[in-house]
Amino acid sequence: MFAYLPPATRWLLLANFAIFGVELATHMQWNALFALEPLGPDFHLWQLVTYAFLHAGFMHIIFNMFALWMFGSLLELYWGAQRYLLYYFACVIAAGLVQLATTYLSGLDEATIGASGGIFGLLFAYGFYFPRQKLMLLVLPIPISAWLFVTLYGVLELVLGVTGSESDVAHFAHLGGMLGGALVILFWRASHKEGGRLRG
């Protein structure tokens, strides 16, 4: 299956799974250095990227990589690998910055890991560029338009973040990924550099 994926998506998947294997082999010892730590002596600039390649368990990485495959593949075909990677890592960094602000303002002293910030950026772009594409949810087996799914998911993340529900989930990082994606797309549109077409 991997051979038929667009190259950037394929290598992102492989990198995430390979690093997860190292995490398991080293009993998560990497996390202390490469997870996104709150602002302070343990924070390092590289963590704004490296945190997105670390995961807390099998379900965490499986869900993230499934979404990366599902939404990222089409976006890479639409944009090309270079623009796709630029967008993805912009979302990762934006999510990290929002999470740093959140932990600072709330006084939380917890590290953040996972590709979800980048994934939520891809989800936003998918809903923006393919709004009428139908998605089938496992919890709601009814086809739903991509734009509506993205909107509802964003609102849900905001509600969960504000109310403090699921405190072990970085809801504002997810929203930060979507915000970063929106800003990138707005910049591309304003500078007439949006581009994009599906490639056979």
Domains of the chain, each with CATH number or no CATH: 2-190 (1.20.1540.10)
Predicted TM-score of the model (pTM): 0.91
Q: Residues 54, 19: contact at Cβ < 8 Å?
A: yes
Q: Which of 170, 74, 193 is nearest to 120 (CA)?
A: 170
Interhelix angle 171-190/81-106, nearest 10 degrees: 130
Quote the pLDDT of residue 200. Answer: 37
Mean pLDDT taken over the chain = 89
Residue 123 in contact with residue 156, Cβ under 8 Å? no
Q: Which of 2-6, 31-35, 136-140 ranks highest by mean pLDDT?
A: 31-35
What are the tens digits of pLDDT across the range 106-130? Answer: 888 889 999 999 999 999 999 999 9
DSSP strand pairing (134-136 vs 143-145) = antiparallel
Q: Cα angle at 158 between 154 and 161, to 5 degrees?
A: 135
* Residue in 115, 114, 109 with CA at minimum distance from that of residue 42: 109
